[in-house]
Chain A
Amino acid sequence: MSANGRDQTDTAPAGALPLASHPLDRRALDALVHVCQMVAGDLDLKAVMRSAMRAAESAMNAEACTIFRRDPTGENLQFYIVDGPQSDGLVSATLPVDDHSIAGWVARHQDPLLVPDAYCDSRFNRDYDVTTGFRTRSIICAPLVAKGRPLGVIEVLNRRDGQPFDKEDVELAQAVASLIAVAILNAEEHEARVNAERLAAVGQMMAGMAHCVKNILNGLQAGSYIIDQGLAAAPAGGVARGWEIVKRNMQFLSNIVLDMLSYSKPRKPLCQPCKIDELCQGVAALLQQQAGAKGVTLVTSGDPMEACVDESGIKRCLINLVGNAIDACGDSGGRVQIEAGPAATDGLLALRVRDNGCGMDASAREKIFAPFFSTKGSKGTGLGLAVTKKIVEEHGGTIQVQSAPGAGTEFTLLLPVKPSTDSTA
């Protein structure tokens, strides 16, 4: 490199346009400035794509231009916009990233491709022309890459002067493509940011709403406890049956709201001495009716044992695990066992919930602790296990799962019998 750095022709990085020596200097520069003006500044993805299409057409003096975006899997290209005079039929079609199409080949190899005569190239699919009535003669296809991320490819079709595209056009197309790729990436990132902000706002709203609903549920729970006592003293015909339905649904609602609240904030467990065997029996009693309705036998085992835990938190974990276990048994019966006892490691308590239900394959096992993952469709919030893991980890414990399709599932919670000093109650 020369000392004053002016000698750019010799030192330009590979792939850049050697502007000083190029016969198309003026045209190329004007075209690139034009592309910049058209695509820069806009942050709406669709608007950016539309401007990019027109800018590329005009810069390349081409009859038509198409942008293909990679889908989130990276395995397919989507004709996001097909511009040009006769292309309405092609919007939103897809094709795979492979060597069987021109766009697919460029996306796969990340190299630009010059096709002087489309009908002589086996990768060109004439069906597109048949559909659109457009006659493709010559094509340049270049990859769209920004910040090292492959975003898709851009195709320009037919020089307006009737000549096939040449090598100089390819260089210009690459420069145009790199400007367009940056504009697309900016718009994509902007869109992702806006979505994230919207989600955060929704999350905040939901947490606020969950808190209000929880307060209402407290009142409902107080009232229902008193009604229960009244019904126990003086049974009132059909009231008891209807009341069970109301209570069961209140319990569902309560579980959802409490899971949402538990998940939304970090929380220090309130650890106090707790009789673990009684806690397990309490959970079994609470879910006995739900199990019975499905013909599932729900049993507890283990010797009396005391540990210092956050009782309501661990109860929440057990309700979630046992509820899942009952659901895993399906409607044809089964067996769910809650087992409590000292773990093999000293100072740890093991809580096990075992079922002989449908079990899970490896791919389900990997996802079960992610929030909003559920195999229960509209019946599950996908928060139960995420909350359970959070509560266990806040205790300084761990959660393990063993499961295989058809072989049932066993969850094991390993919890310190005595919490670390900073969570001691």
Chain B
Amino acid sequence: MRKALVVDDESDARAFIRAILEPDGWEVAEAVDGVDGLNQAKSLRPELIVLDVQMPRKTGFDMFYDLCQDPALQDTKVIMLTGVAEKTGIRFTSKDMGEFLGKEPDAYVEKPIDPDILKRAVLRVTA
């Protein structure tokens, strides 16, 4: 089974994403923040990571930066959830991210998550 890791500090959101991915044949693991997420990513080596941005201990941006440094995780696809926009009015685009980190997430999906949009993003990045 294809492995996916969902990293989000909100349990409702994790349950939602799990419910969206599992029917499409994904085996889903859950992590509660960036530290937990990085540890699980290293041990599970998932094909796909769905990554929230605002989390305690380690944010999604920080975790993404760490993922990029790990040679064993270079093929892992990352979909980043963006809930930042509503709070600041300014959105980080992957272009901003790319300039900042030297690498971009494979896709962004906006929160609140639209199941159709997440499913299409998953299909696109793991095709």
Main SS class of interface, A: helix
Nearest Cβ distance between residue B125 and chain A, in whole angstroms?
Answer: 10
Per a CB cutoff under 8 Å, which of B13, B116, B121 touches A222? B13
Q: Are B110 and A312 in contact (CB under 8 A)?
A: yes
Please name all residues of chain A whose beta carbon is closer than 8 Å to the beta carbon of B70 when the two chains form the complex.
none
- With known contacts A272-B108, A278-B120, A312-B110, A226–B91 Cβ distance under 8 A: no
The answer to whether A312 touches B114, judged by C-beta atoms less than 8 angstroms apart, is: yes
Tell me which residues from 86 to 127 in chain B have a Cβ below 8 Å from any Cβ of chain A.
86, 89-91, 93-95, 107-108, 110-117, 120-121, 124
**Whole-angstrom distance between the alpha carbons of A331 and B77 in the complex?**
47
- CA separation between A282 and B116, bound complex, in Å? 7
The proximity string for A residues 263-275 relative to B, scoring 1 for CB distances below 8 Å and 0 otherwise, is: 0011110101111
Min CB distance B34 to A, Å, is 20
Q: How far is the CB of A257 from chain B (nearest CB, A)?
A: 10
The bracket for how many chain B residues form the interface is 20 to 34
Could you tell me if A211 and B93 are in contact, using CB atoms closer than 8 angstroms?
no
Q: How far is the CA of A54 from the CA of B94 in the complex (A)?
A: 69
Q: How far is the CA of A311 from the CA of B95 in the complex (A)?
A: 17
Whether a CB of chain B sits under 8 angstroms from the CB of A404 is: no
The answer to whether B108 and A218 touch across the interface, beta carbons within 8 angstroms, is no
Given the complex, which residues of A lie within 8 Å of B112, measured CB to CB? 214, 217-218, 221, 254, 258
- B residues near A273, Cβ cutoff 8 Å: 124
Q: Known contacts A217-B112, A229-B23, A261-B86; decide if A270 and B93 are in contact (CB<8 Å).
A: yes
Whether A315 is near chain B, meaning CB under 8 Å from some CB there, is yes
In the bound assembly, the distance between CA atoms of A311 and B124 in angstroms comes to 13
Interchain CB contact under 8 A, A221 and B16 = yes
How many residues of A sit at the interface, in one of the four size bands? Answer: 20 to 34
**In chain B, residues 58-107, which have Cβ atoms closer than 8 Å to a Cβ of chain A?**
82, 85-86, 89-91, 93-95, 107
| A219 touching B12, Cβ below 8 Å | yes
Q: B66 to chain A: closest CB distance in Å?
A: 22
**Is A265 a contact of B115 with CB atoms below 8 Å?**
no
Which chain A residues lie closer than 8 Å to B95 at the CB level?
424-425
Count: A-B pairs, CB below 8 Å: 69
Interface centre among A225, A266, A424 (most CB of B within 10 A): A225
Q: Output the nearest chain B residue to A228 by Cβ-Cβ distance.
A: B19
Q: Does B55 contact A (CB under 8 A)?
A: no
Name B15's contact: one of A226, A261, A424 (CB within 8 Å).
A226
Contact B12 A218 (CB under 8 A): yes
- Chain B residues near A214 (CB, 8 Å)? 86, 112
Question: In the docked arrangement, what's the CA distance between A218 and B13, Å?
Answer: 8
Chain B residues with CB under 8 A of A423: 93
Among B15, B107, B120, point to the contact of A275 (Cβ < 8 A): B120
Verify if B20 is at the interface (C-beta below 8 Å from A).
yes
Closest B residue, CB atoms, query A223: B12
Q: Are A425 and B94 in contact (CB under 8 A)?
A: yes
Interface residues of B, Cβ cutoff 8 Å to A: 12-13, 15-16, 19-20, 23, 82, 85-86, 89-91, 93-95, 107-108, 110-117, 120-121, 124
- The 10 tightest CB contacts between A and B, nearest first, are A222-B16, A218-B112, A265-B89, A282-B116, A219-B12, A312-B110, A226-B19, A222-B12, A425-B94, A311-B117
